[in-house]
Amino acid sequence: MSALRCAAGAQGTLGKALTRAAGVPARVRTWFYSDATSAALAWLAAIALCAGVLAWFFVASPYGAPAAPVYAEF
């Protein structure tokens, strides 16, 4: 009987945590699109990350290289 009570208590705690966590994406979205300095830094970090991925793709990785002509192997 105590195991059932324990499981029900844990489920209730999980339910409360999930209810609190449900509003987190909306709060983050509100902050990210606000005029706060930290939000501007987050935008700057996101832009730097995207630019870094593009630079890696076109400069450091072989995936951005132009395709060699078919006859180059012969």
Parse the chain into domains and list their residue ranges: 2-62
Q: What's the CA angle centered on 56, arms 72 and 44, to 5 degrees?
A: 155
Tokens (6 digits) for 18: 């999930």
Residue type (1 letter), 31: W
Q: Using CA atoms, how far apart are residues 13 and 49, in angstroms rounded to an integer?
A: 37
Q: How confident is the model at residue 1 (pLDDT cuts 50, 70, 90)?
A: very low
4-39: pLDDT as tens digits = 555 555 567 888 888 888 888 999 999 999 999 999
Its pTM stands at 0.58
